[in-house]
Amino acid sequence: MITVPVKTSAPYDVHIGSGILQKAGELIRPVLRGRAALITDSTVDSLYGDIVRQSLADSGFDAVSYVFPAGEEHKNLSEYAGILSFLAENAVTRGDFLIALGGGVSGDMTGFAAATYLRGIPFVQIPTTFLAAADASVGGKTAVDLAAGKNLVGAFHQPSLVICDTDTFSTLTPAAFADGMTETIKHGLICDRAFFDFLASGDRRGEINEIVRKDVEIKSSFVAADEFDRGRRQMLNFGHTIGHAVEVNSEFSVSHGRAVAIGMCAAAKAAHAFGLCGEDLSVPIREALSRYGIDSACPFSAASLTEAALRDKKRFGETINIIYLKTIGEAAVHPLPVRQLEAFLRAGCES
């Protein structure tokens, strides 16, 4: 088992390994006490819910479970309110804790419930997708979506522990696995040229434990330096402003990973067109993504993306922060006037 410490204001460990889901209770016991409230979706519950509940029971934890329908469309205020009501009805207290079992939807929504129920209680992340392991389970960003856009209601709330059993990735579809590879490639693009070259030079699926370790090390370095996303951590948003607009325009039929892939290529191409970067880095990015079967072609017009992007959290008055690459391995932020956003997106998304 690999353990990566995350050095935030409330430090915690990320455990990564094969077959550690059965040890969830054993790993939680040194960190937390009280009752556990397991929050998961219907698909993940059928695969792993009983394993986690048995592990908790074996370690002496009482547990209750809340299962919601699978899908990004359920990451909303109504389902969030359902979780809060469930916690209150089951008399969950500040001496208890939540467990987010599943992908980014479960992690984000459970984390937000933990951040706000009784003004904050502990929670554990148990990601079961490559995407959640590489990204959402680390860093303490929690949220739900509104009809107007992704993650518009949320809070910063760090988990007390992250348990990542990479064996759970075996049940992912190729497209779902590719979503995690998109965020992994992003990590190399923004700060580690050698890691990007490693991923781009061959199919690395067989080295998943070490890849997840690298993902967590990179993300945690940004989070530790800028826990509340006011500076350096914003580099992690490379591809996300455009990506979130793609998701909204598709009514979430385009997955997060593919949307971010589209966003990264578009941002790189537009940065070159706007003179922010000396070469069109969308070319090597596209090639690396295609190695893992990731389609980065943009299906929406600049006009439709602009409307959604202007509601993004990274807008500040009359500017919106665009993350771009100076070169592979180095990202930067460009405060773009909103009046230029459609032209920027046209340069990136339309040939």
| pLDDT of 297 | 93
Specify the amino acid at residue 281.
Answer: L
| pLDDT of 134 | 94
108 token code pair: 């984000």
| pLDDT of 187 | 98
At the fourth CATH level, the homologous superfamily of domain 174-349 is Dehydroquinate synthase-like - alpha domain (1.20.1090.10)
Q: Where are the domains of the chain?
A: 2-171, 174-349
Round to whole Å and give the CA distance between 185 and 215: 9
Q: Output phi, psi for 251, to 5 deg.
A: 55, 40
Give the HSE-up count for residue 33: Cα atoms under 13 Å, Cβ half-sphere. Answer: 1
| pLDDT of 86 | 98
Q: How does pLDDT run across 295-347, given as a tens digit for each residue?
A: 999 999 999 999 888 877 667 778 899 999 999 999 999 999 999 999 999 99
Q: Which residues contact 340 (CB under 8 A, 6 or more apart)?
A: none
203 token code pair: 């199919």
H or E element: which one contains 4?
A: strand 2-6
Q: Which residue is listed with tokens 């890849």?
A: 211
| Percent of the chain that is helix, strand, coil (3-state, to 5) | 50, 20, 30
Specify the amino acid at residue 183.
Answer: E
| pLDDT of 62 | 97
- 303: burial class by Cβ within 10 Å (0-12, 13-18, 19+)? exposed
Assigned CATH topology for domain 2-171:
Rossmann fold (3.40.50)
Q: How many CB atoms lie within 10 A of CB 275?
A: 7
- Residues in the chain, pLDDT under 50: none
Q: How many CB atoms lie within 10 A of CB 54?
A: 14
Q: In this structure, are residues 278 and 311 in contact, taking their beta carbons and an 8 Å threshold? A: no
pTM, to two decimals: 0.93
Q: In this structure, are residues 140 and 9 in contact, taking their beta carbons and an 8 Å threshold? A: no
